[in-house]
A and B are shown apart, each in its own frame.
Chain A
Amino acid sequence: DVKVTQSSRYLVKRTGEKVFLECVQDMDHENMFWYRQDPGLGLRLIYFSYDVKMKEKGDIPEGYSVSREKKERFSLILESASTNQTSMYLCASNPQGISTDTQYFGPGTRLTVL
């Protein structure tokens, strides 16, 4: 079974702090994704990566950056957290086709910024 894990289920940070959200997948998938999930808005793509050190902006990249130094690990970074970044963050991966393949999701990190 594919396993996608995220470093924290719940996280509370202060405004202005630098926040790291980590995601690891164990199935040698090429592609990894970061979404945020908000009520009434569904999932919105923040960034994705199709290879080590490669990244592409999604629909809402402002205020976020990402890092993929190793194939299995994809990090989301909030350089200076703000209250409007309070949300559920979901990581996902898929094998080959960005658009064609099923995505496998992690359990999510619920981030609260005070």
Chain B
Amino acid sequence: AQTVTQSQPEMSVQEAETVTLSCTYDTSENNYYLFWYKQPPSRQMILVIRQEAYKQQNATENRFSVNFQKAAKSFSLKISDSQLGDTAMYFCAYANDYKLSFGAGTTVTVRA
């Protein structure tokens, strides 16, 4: 079974600073997909960024970027120039074939 580990339950960052969320996963597959989802307080979960494992290049979406290390099975998310609206719980997710696994989540609080 695939497992996804987010080792940081909570993180706090000053507005305009950078924060990095860690995610590791366990798999024996070569082709799979990785996602970061964001769940703001009392709001719907939305996609932040998506990475295909066969692509070497790290995905970037505006202020959000990932550091994908396939050999290390690591998929960290960097939030640059943090904004108050980034306050949310962030979930790392792994998907392959019909298997979908989410991590326990990291709560990020951006301080004004």
Binding site for B on A (CB under 8 A): 4, 33, 35, 40-45, 48, 56, 58-59, 90, 92, 98-100, 102-103, 105-108
Contacts and interface: CB of A to CB of B under 8 A. Distances in A.
A99 B46 CA distance: 16
Contact of A45 (B6, B9, B97, B100): B100
A105 B91 contact: no
Contact of A44 (B32, B99, B102): B102
Contacts of B96: 99
Contacts of B99: 99
A98 B98 CA distance: 6
Interface residues of B, number: 27
A34 to B, nearest CB: 12
A56 B98 contact: yes
A11 B81 CA distance: 39
Closest A-B pairs by Cβ, 9 of them: A99-B95, A43-B102, A105-B45, A42-B102, A42-B104, A102-B47, A107-B44, A105-B44, A42-B103
Interface of B: 1, 4, 6, 9, 32-33, 35, 37, 43-47, 50, 52, 91, 93, 95-100, 102-105
A100 B33 contact: yes
Given A4-B44, A59-B1, A99-B98, 16 more contacts: A40-B104, A41-B104, A42-B6, A42-B102, A42-B104, A43-B91, A56-B98, A92-B45, A98-B97, A99-B33, A99-B97, A100-B52, A102-B50, A105-B44, A105-B46, A107-B44
A99 B27 CA distance: 14
B44 A106 contact: yes
A13 B43 CA distance: 23
